[in-house]
Amino acid sequence: MMTKKMEQAINDQMQKEFYSSYLYLSMSAYCYENNLKGFGHWMKLQSQEETSHGMKFYEYMIARGNRVLLEPIEQPPHAFKSLTEVIQKSLEHEKKVTALLHRLYELTMKEKDYASQGILQWYINEQVEEEATVNEILQKLKLISDKSSAILYLDKEMGKRAP
């Protein structure tokens, strides 16, 4: 069992993962609405991945004999100016999540919770990959600016993502 302080902090982080899922689902809807099926598909899978991140904490809490407390999930943004803004917002969001995970890791050190350090290391590594992926998409979008043929090509590429 982990300390009450750790329990609260992990429940908070679990909420962030479920919020991430909600955010990406909202972004996915925006993409579909704007006829960007590939991006819509990519964002939908990203949303599912975030749900699995939330569930990983859920399972972990149960395994440790701690209390899962599901916190309210706020409404994610739904009006975006452009596709580039969507991707920019994803990157900003991922950076925020990374910072929160680092803070959580610091808490495990203070609380001497070695088991939680193991699982958090996994999340931290996952963030490196996610930030890199989103950044790569953003750089591509900047490169092609608003050349519609290039956007259509990229949209097709995004549609190839497998779960």
Q: Does 16 bind Fe ion (CB under 5 A)?
A: no
Q: Is 130 in the site for Fe ion (CB under 5 A)?
A: yes
- Residue 91 — φ and ψ, nearest 5°? -65, -45
Q: State in angstroms the smallest separation of the CB of 97 from Fe ion.
A: 6
Let me know: does 10 contact 57? Beta carbons within 8 Å. yes
Q: How far apart are CA 118 and CA 84, in angstroms?
A: 35
Find out whether 48 and 71 touch, Cβ atoms under 8 Å: no
Structure tokens belonging to residue 70: 């599901």
Q: Which stretch binds Fe ion (CB under 5 A): 7-15, 104-112, 124-132, 138-146?
A: 124-132
- Residue closer to Fe ion by CB (options 50, 151) is 50
Give the CB-nearest residue to Fe ion.
53
Q: Tell me the residue length of the chain.
A: 163
Quote the least distance from Cβ 50 to Fe ion, whole Å. Answer: 5
Site size with Fe ion, rule: CB under 5 A: 4
Q: Which residues bind Fe ion (CB under 5 A)?
A: 17, 50, 53, 130
